[in-house]
Every structure is written in structure tokens, then in C-alpha cells.
Amino acid sequence: MERTLVMIRHAKSSWANPLQSDFERPLNDRGEHDAPMMGERLKKQNLLPDLIIASTAKRAKQTAKKIAKAIGYDESNIVWDEKLYHCIPSVFEEVLYEVADDVKTVFIVAHNPGITEFVNELSDKFCTDNMPTCGMVGAKFEAEQWNEFSRTNKQVFLFDYPKNVI
């Protein structure tokens, strides 16, 4: 079965309140604009998730909700996973291993630096120095179960971000 994974870095966050914890930082104006715009780009490509999994940090939650709204995904179905907050690449695999096998397309909304490291491990034909805020990397692969993810050959078919002129 062909499966699709889209990794999404949270949109641009606000540093306006220096006393605010990193976990509680919200999106700034640019982030508020970029997240729905990127959701619209996904929708135009007919790239729609069966499941969205997101970090519980405020900026990631806001990004996931805005993308969900733009693509017509019921935000009450978003799975919030605290393990995704500033995680290392292997945690993304652990999260994928828990996905039900009838799910074909998964979006994960998370953070740097782990997300950049993870997408650079997807294929030896893809590399980025830095996953931009609200950037997206999509990969397709053949597998009967999500727990085969690490053993499959993945093809990166999508690299898009707000400042990318398409």
C-alpha cells in the first residue's frame, strides 16, 4: 500500500513577550497568515490527511488547527502528542509506529531542530540546511504497516514553504 507522510514545521512564532515560556509562545502575524496559506497549497495539490498529529506546544497547535481548517479536516480529530515538542528524529518514527494501518496519509506538525534532522534522513536524494517555519516535506513509500517505515525506501516529492514562489 502506498503511504504518504507530510512533515510540517510550525509557523512563525512570536517573541514579543520575553518572559513567556518557549512552550507557550503563540504564532506571530506572519505565522497567522502563513499556516492557512500553506494549508490552501496542500488542498490545491489534493494532498489531504487521514490523520494529523501535532506537538502540544501553543505555536504547533495553532499551526495544526489553521492548516486543518484550510483543508477541511475536522480539528477535533487532530491527535496532540507532547512527545513531539523538540523531539529527536527517532521519536517521529515511534509516533508513526503507533498509527493505525488503515491510515494512508499522515501530517505531523512539530519543531526544529528535530524536524530538519528527520526529513534529511528520509532520502539520500533530499537535503535541506533548515526546514523553514511552516515548511513542508512530503514523502511517499510502500508499506503494509506504519511500523515498516524505517525499513522502506522513501521518495521525497514535496518541499514547500511560505517564501517559495510557486
CATH number assigned to the domain comprising residue 71: 3.40.50.1240
Domain annotation covers residue 99: yes
Domain annotation covers residue 61: yes
Domain annotation covers residue 92: yes
Domain annotation covers residue 19: no
Q: Report pTM.
A: 0.97
The one-digit pLDDT tens for each residue of the chain (166 residues) are: 999 999 999 999 999 898 899 999 999 999 999 999 999 999 999 999 999 999 999 999 999 999 999 999 999 999 999 999 999 999 999 999 999 999 999 999 999 999 999 999 999 999 999 999 999 999 999 999 999 999 999 999 999 999 997 6
Domain annotation covers residue 30: yes
Domain annotation covers residue 165: no
What CA–CA distances, in Å, run from 145 to 99, 136, 141, 142, 148?
9, 23, 11, 9, 6
**Peptide bond just before 26 cis, omega within 30 deg:** no
Domain annotation covers residue 113: yes
- C-alpha span between 129 and 26 (Å, rounded): 25
How many structural domains is the chain composed of? 1
What CA–CA distances, in Å, run from 129 to 72, 88, 119, 155?
32, 16, 10, 19
Domain ranges, residue 38: 2-13+24-160
Domain annotation covers residue 166: no
